[in-house]
Amino acid sequence: MSQVIIVQSLDTIEKMKNHYKNYLKPTVPPGAIFAAKLPTCSITAYKSKKVLFQGGSYEKEASLWEENSSIKKQTISTSLPSDISHLSIIGTDEVGKGDFFGPLTVVAAYVKKEQIPLLKEIGVCDSKNLTDTKIIEIAKQIKEIIPFSLLILPNEKYNEIQQKGYTQGKITAILHNQAINHLLKKISPSKPEAILIDEFAKKEIYYNHLRNEKNIVKENVYFSTKAEGIHLAVAAASILARYAFIQKFDELAKKAGFPLTKGAGQKVDEQCARLIISKGEEVLPYFVKLHFANTEKAKRIVQRKNR
């Protein structure tokens, strides 16, 4: 999406907030002072004094304030290098964000250009087109060939951080950055020609999430939706993340004592209710992402059954 960021004093940001008072959104993203949705564009002002204009007439709207801007505007390039599919790159992807049961799992994988044909041969492709059985089969082969970094955040830990006020987006961003850092160390002194993140948040939001982190990787980092289809490194990362997720998920089902379902549909409400009845509510932080609406739905099922 087309966007521009300008930096403003907090005073000007207050003026802006007042100027857009009829368009303010009821809630603001973490770290933001205000968010406004105009008919022609969206505006988000952050405590870091950055103001993001997105979509439609973003440039025109931003230009109203630019005279006062303390630094020159920086237009974010969202375009990828045209030859990115053929470069040696680190790709990152995550699994488990939308799953009530099972850990959030992030992988960064490094694929050198010479390895691309071999990975194709093994069957690496968009993991959404692969069955779990196929994913396991491919993952077992590629984990011996390519360097990667795998981070698994068990729900117990996830809930703890989430309750401290970290959004899922922020948690995911921190894990991606960590995985990239680990992998850069692992492959050093070689260096990737680019880093491609399967886009779960816009670049600016991603870096805003990371603002308090150490070692923020920014050099040659690109974002794209459906990045699995752009470079096999992302596809490989996705397969390795899903492989780890499946294993952890199966372990969790063993602990539950009955099969669990992926995703966050109605079935998981029933399964969570069954867990509460058989093991007590206090085990939930270990099994589920507590902030999902499923938790309350499951509790209501239990209440109905107890009536």
Bridge-based pairing state of the strands 194-198 and 89-95: parallel
Segment lying near Mn ion (by CB under 5 A), choices 52-60, 72-80, 90-98, 241-249? 90-98
Residue 62, CB half-sphere, CA atoms under 13 Å: how many? 27
In order of 105, 157, 167, 255, 290, the CA distances from 286 in angstroms are: 15, 8, 18, 10, 9
Q: Closer CB to Mn ion, residue 68 or residue 78?
A: 78
Contact 263, 96 (CB under 8 A): no
Query: Maximum Cα–Cα distance for the chain, whole Å?
Result: 65
Segment lying near Mn ion (by CB under 5 A), choices 54-62, 89-97, 130-138, 205-213? 89-97
Contact 5, 73 (CB under 8 A): yes
What letter represents residue 185's amino acid? K
Min CB(94)–Mn ion separation in Å: 6
Segment lying near Mn ion (by CB under 5 A), choices 98-106, 198-206, 239-247, 274-282? 198-206
Q: Closer CB to Mn ion, residue 47 or residue 128?
A: 128
Length of the chain: 307
The continuous run of DSSP H or E covering 65 comes out as: helix 58-66
Q: Is 99 in the site for Mn ion (CB under 5 A)?
A: no
Min CB(233)–Mn ion separation in Å: 13
Q: Closer CB to Mn ion, residue 239 or residue 256?
A: 239
Q: What angle do CA 88, 115, 176 make, to 5 degrees?
A: 50
- Chosen residue from 61, 198, 204, 269 binding Mn ion by CB under 5 A: 198
Residues 239-258 interacting with Mn ion (rule: CB under 5 A): none
- DSSP state at residue 140: H
Token readout for 45 is 């002002």
Residue nearest to Mn ion (CB): 198
Q: Closer CB to Mn ion, residue 115 or residue 224?
A: 224
**Cβ atoms within 10 A of the Cβ of 270, count?**
15
How many residues bind Mn ion (CB under 5 A)? The answer is: 2
Q: Is 93 in the site for Mn ion (CB under 5 A)?
A: yes
- Contact pattern from residue 105 through residue 144 relative to Mn ion, giving x for each residue in contact according to CB under 5 A and a dash for the rest: ----------------------------------------
Q: Is 61 in the site for Mn ion (CB under 5 A)?
A: no
The residues that touch Mn ion, with contacts defined as CB under 5 A, are: 93, 198
